[in-house]
Amino acid sequence: YRYETADCVQTAFSVAFSGDGQYVFGGFKKEIVSWSTCKPGSDYHQHFKAVNKNHFGQKSIISCLQFMHGHSHIFASGCYDGMAQIFDVRSNPNGSASQFAIAAFKCVEQRNYGITQLRFSPCNNYLLCGSRKNDDIYCWDLRYLKNAYYVNALFAESLNEKLMNGNTKVYKDNDQRMSLCAKYKRSIVNHQKVQFDIDRYQGYWIVSGNQTANHCNVYSVNCNAFEVEPMHMLQHDENVSSVSSAQLCPTYPFLATTIGQRVSTTTSAKAQPEPEPEPASDSDSDSSDDESTVTNCNDICIWDLRHKQ
């Protein structure tokens, strides 16, 4: 599959299959394209513009795509400009060739860094957004969106055409409806992608990596606090300084975490009485008494959640 503009092949920065597997979606800069899995080639099926007719929307790279559980027509997109949007493949205002987002989520009280991962809760009522160089996992409440645009407040039902006019409904963290319902605290200090996951059966637990410590964070969604601290911390070995990913097994009570680091330490050699060395050549003039050691730690750890640690 390929997408061409002005006879130039564009690079997709993110990909995702639809819920039924009939279409594959690719995220580009300011736009999203879908192709039918039954028909490879450059002929795309649908085209979505991440920037609407009012010049509002995602104006950078579409970094991640995520479909709703049990739905093949509603998906979310994350962008490096810090905005998340929700699209419905059934929306086509005024019969236009391109489709726009039906809702956008933006943080205005503090700087929102580029989004690197999205997850829907099992009930599809909440959207989790993880960003780079940002210590929070944002949890957005989607129930107001259901009441605003969908019949019987269900995503499975059809869109309310009277309310859907092609404009993107914007939800912010400082509005009166409290669209942003929780922040799950973790430590992210650079632009590296740190993955998280949510319990796919009941949605009670959220797990996430951590960049500045040797533990995996485990959160409870039943906490009533707005800023949620980890309830449990799964400790790794002492030589581990960062946990880059945490994923729950979809079929068994197992948790997988990844640790990948390369730490360089410098130690000074102790002075020992030695005979006078010969004059050093030009090639040895840059040598020093400091010894540098490199510690590599690249492992995948499997945790059995049936036993208490």
Q: Look at residue 1 in the predicted model and tell me its pLDDT.
A: 60
Report d(CA 92, CA 227) in Å as an integer: 38
**What digits encode the pLDDT tens for the residues 135-176?**
899 999 988 887 777 766 677 666 665 665 556 778 877 765
Q: Which residues contact 177 (CB under 8 A, 6 or more apart)?
A: 144, 171
Strands (E) across 212-309 are located at 215-220, 227-228, 232-235, 245-248, 254-268, 290-304
**Strand 99-100 relative to strand 136-141: parallel, antiparallel, unpaired?**
unpaired
φ and ψ of 290, to 5 deg: -80, 135
pTM to 2 decimals?
Answer: 0.82
Tens digit of each residue's pLDDT, the chain (309 residues): 667 665 677 888 999 999 888 999 999 988 999 998 888 777 888 888 888 877 888 888 999 999 998 888 899 999 998 899 999 888 765 545 568 888 888 877 666 688 999 999 998 889 999 998 888 999 999 888 877 777 666 776 666 656 655 567 788 777 655 688 899 999 988 888 899 999 988 888 999 998 888 889 999 998 888 899 999 999 888 888 889 899 999 888 899 999 877 666 665 555 455 555 555 544 444 444 555 555 667 888 899 888 655
3-state DSSP assignment of residue 10 = coil
Work out the end-to-end distance of the chain between its first and last CA atoms, rounded to an integer number of angstroms.
Answer: 46
Number of Cβ within 10 Å of residue 5's Cβ equals: 9
Q: Look at residue 96 in the predicted model and tell me its pLDDT.
A: 55
**What digits encode the pLDDT tens for the residues 34-54?**
998 888 777 888 888 888 877
Q: Which residues contact 275 (CB under 8 A, 6 or more apart)?
A: none
